[in-house]
A and B are shown apart, each in its own frame.
Chain A
Amino acid sequence: MYTDDIIQIAAEAGKIILENGGETYRVEQTITMICNSYGIPRTESFVTPTGVMISITNNKNQTISLIRRIHIRTVNLRKVSMINNLSRQLVSNPLSIVDIKREIDYINNLPAYSQKTTTFFSACCAGFFTLLFGGNYKDFFIAFIIGALINYLSLFLDKFEVNSFLKNMLSGSLAALIALIATSLHLVGNMDTIIIGSIMLLVPGIAITNAIRDTIAGDLVSGISRSIEALFIAIAISSGTSIVFKIWFLLFGGTLI
């Protein structure tokens, strides 16, 4: 019974880290740490971006294993950090099973930033990237609007559980479309910087970083799958923008650019 509880807790903690953008080795490390701190002599875990597999052997030489499939992949680094610190605390100061379950539940149910806040900051993000790449203040406002709209679009698409390829493609199209319209109305100085600034919002920063970190940590399977994820996101963004460009050129000619 006791071993059952421990493997469940370890799997839950690992799952939270993996779902919220932690690296593969961190998940494996956390699982091992939790099991070790409750006196399990042997723990093996195999983690990929799509699932967690754990097998533990207790003092009586009984072996049990557990598989958790991961379907959601969001980014919430606060949860990653809190679970990570919790598992490190356990080594020096093991909590009771009930306490740690409550603690993990609490972390998992922590609220994210509100919708308004994320919309505002993604708008700021697009706007300041546009300034960073050499846009002027008019460009800033257009990019600011695009950033907010991209956030609304992704929240809207999330309701229908649209996959990330289509989501990025539509967001890229939206950015290109609004930038083209704004340029044709002579509202902006430089269309390129607006589009670049807005698609920076979609760029797969976390996938790239984790792909690199996983690969050098020796988790080759995860490294490759995350690289493919990053590549697919990049393809989605550029095909989204290029489709809009192509249609615009066909309709209005290539005079704008």
Chain B
Amino acid sequence: MILNSFYAFLSSLGFGVLFNIRGKNLIIASLGGGLAWLTYLISGRLQPSLVFSLFLASMVGSIYSEIMARLYKNPVTMFIICAIIPLVPGGGMYYATLEAVKGNFTVALTKGAETLFSAGAIAVGIVLVASISTIFKKIKK
């Protein structure tokens, strides 16, 4: 589990470089990816729903990013993108395509719907955290 999260960290690091993030921001942003993936794995052990795990992971990743953005005075996007990247359902997309090519349209549609739900869960996670963080901003003022 820890090793897997470390891989997620390294993948996010690669993405951070592709997005031209530099210096300590790069490490901080990539740690978000590792943290989100760790949440996903832990949640996957505790309950069976994949979509809910993705939702939790995206929330944890977003909360981490919001906090880091405040601490290090950088745009939230910089951190959120690296935190979310490992969760993006590339696998679902691939399996849906593969089954469609093989002619198993029922399986392809199931996989496609699963991919859409996963993407939706990630989106809702980001939206919730971003919306709640605006409340905090208002309170601070």
Contact = CB atoms under 8 A, between A and B. Distances in A.
A125 B18 contact: yes
A125 B11 CA distance: 5
A81 B127 contact: no
Interface string B90-132: 1101111110111000000000000000010011001100110
Given A77-B77, A124-B10, A209-B80, A199 B101 contact: no
Nearest to B127: A216
Contacts of B52: none
B50 interface: no
Contact of A210 (B13, B77, B122): B77
Interface residues of A, number: 50
Contacts of B14: 121-122, 124-125, 128
B127 A199 contact: no
A92 interface: no
A78 interface: yes
Interface of B: 4, 7-8, 10-11, 13-15, 17-22, 25, 37, 73-78, 80-81, 84-86, 88, 90-91, 93-98, 100-102, 119, 122-123, 126-127, 130-131
27 contacts: A23-B77, A26-B77, A75-B18, A75-B20, A76-B19, A77-B20, A77-B21, A77-B78, A77-B81, A80-B75, A112-B20, A113-B17, A125-B11, A128-B10, A129-B11, A132-B7, A132-B86, A192-B94, A199-B90, A205-B85, A206-B77, A209-B126, A212-B123, A213-B77, A213-B80, A245-B101, A257-B102
Contacts of B86: 129, 132
A249 interface: yes
A200 B20 contact: no
Kindly list the 6 A-B residue pairs having the minimum CB-CB distance in the complex, ordered from nearest.
A125-B14, A121-B17, A238-B97, A76-B20, A128-B11, A128-B10
B37 A132 contact: yes
A178 interface: no
A109 interface: no
